[in-house]
């Protein structure tokens, strides 16, 4: 009788997640992984060799797209802005507009494109391939933390190289603006250089650099997390890479807007 009464008891069902919980689960997992990455960044030993290799890898996949993307951005903004200045008879202020637009907006926004399309996807593909080959599981069995060994060097490399990519875009922007303004639209070379710091100062440059570091860290972190949870073989890795581009864009554009407004609200920059 006891057995029969026990058999008739309903079997407890597991918790069925709601749609909201399903949507929030990846966000929670990302925050947990990001926290683990921050903690692991200060744990010795630091993987210097892996970090240097990843810096070189990020540079190799990002410098070409940075140059190719920076030139049309400069051409678009410079020509449009200089057309307005020409109509107003103030073409000699081309240096002011070129420097301000490049440092404050073109550099960070174009860096966002490069980080999403080249850097984060390469990190995701690398870690995703290791995931489906069960290399990450093997490392855990051996007592090696994949976050400290693989994620931290890649995320810090993305942050470091984002600074150089932003600087490269600024150089391309100002150099291209000088070429277009002076040689094609009749601006004075000396006045172009003299007016570059009218609206742009060291505070703007520091702000752009800090934003580049934050964007690089966030893009690298998104790519690393998406690679760590990849599944479904090669098809799953490809899907993860495609999703990484979307996630990075979704994350970086609001962050860029918030950072841009916050620096003016807090008075960190003058213009």
pLDDT digits (tens, 9 = 90+) for 22-53: 777 788 889 999 999 999 999 989 999 999 99
29 in a structural domain: no
243 in a structural domain: yes
Cβ(190)–Cβ(95) below 8 Å: no
Name the token pair of 143.
């007592």
Give the pLDDT of residue 128. Answer: 94
Structural domain harbouring 133:
50-265
1 in a structural domain: no
- pTM, full prediction: 0.86
114 in a structural domain: yes
Give the pLDDT of residue 161. Answer: 93
d(CA 178, CA 174): 6
Give the pLDDT of residue 120. Answer: 93
Give the pLDDT of residue 89. Answer: 78
35 in a structural domain: no
Give the pLDDT of residue 6. Answer: 38
77 in a structural domain: yes
Listed as ranges, residues in the chain with pLDDT below 70 are 1-15, 270-271
Give the pLDDT of residue 81. Answer: 80
Among residues 247, 243, 221, which one has the least CA distance to residue 231?
A: 243
**Domains held by the chain: number:** 1
Among residues 263, 47, 17, which one has the least CA distance to residue 155?
A: 47
């Amino acid at each position: 009788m006891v057995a029969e009464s026990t058999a008739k008891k309903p079997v407890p069902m597991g918790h069925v997640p709601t749609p909201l919980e399903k949507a929030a689960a990846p966000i929670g997992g990302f925050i947990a992984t990001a926290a683990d990455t921050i903690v692991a960044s200060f744990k010795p030993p630091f993987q210097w060799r892996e970090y240097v290799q990843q810096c070189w890898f990020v540079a190799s996949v990002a410098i070409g797209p940075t140059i190719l993307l920076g030139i049309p951005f400069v051409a678009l903004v410079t020509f449009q802005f200089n057309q307005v200045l020409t109509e107003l008879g103030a073409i000699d202020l081309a240096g002011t507009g070129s420097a301000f637009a490049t440092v404050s907006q073109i550099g960070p926004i174009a860096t966002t494109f490069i980080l999403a399309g080249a850097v984060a996807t390469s990190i995701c593909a690398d870690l995703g391939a290791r995931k489906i080959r069960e290399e990450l599981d093997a490392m855990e069995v051996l007592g090696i933390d994949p976050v400290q060994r693989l994620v931290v060097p890649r995320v810090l490399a993305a942050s470091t190289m984002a600074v150089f990519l932003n600087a490269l875009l600024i150089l391309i922007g100002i150099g291209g603006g000088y070429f277009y303004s002076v040689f094609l639209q009749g601006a004075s070379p000396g006045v172009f250089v003299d007016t570059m710091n009218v609206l742009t100062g060291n505070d703007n440059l520091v702000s752009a650099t800090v934003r580049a570091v934050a964007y690089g860290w966030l893009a690298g972190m998104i790519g690393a997390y998406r690679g760590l949870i990849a599944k479904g073989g090669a098809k799953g890795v490809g899907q993860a890479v495609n999703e990484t581009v979307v996630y990075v864009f979704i994350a970086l554009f609001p962050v860029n807007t918030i950072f841009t407004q916050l620096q003016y609200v807090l008075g960190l920059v003058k213009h």
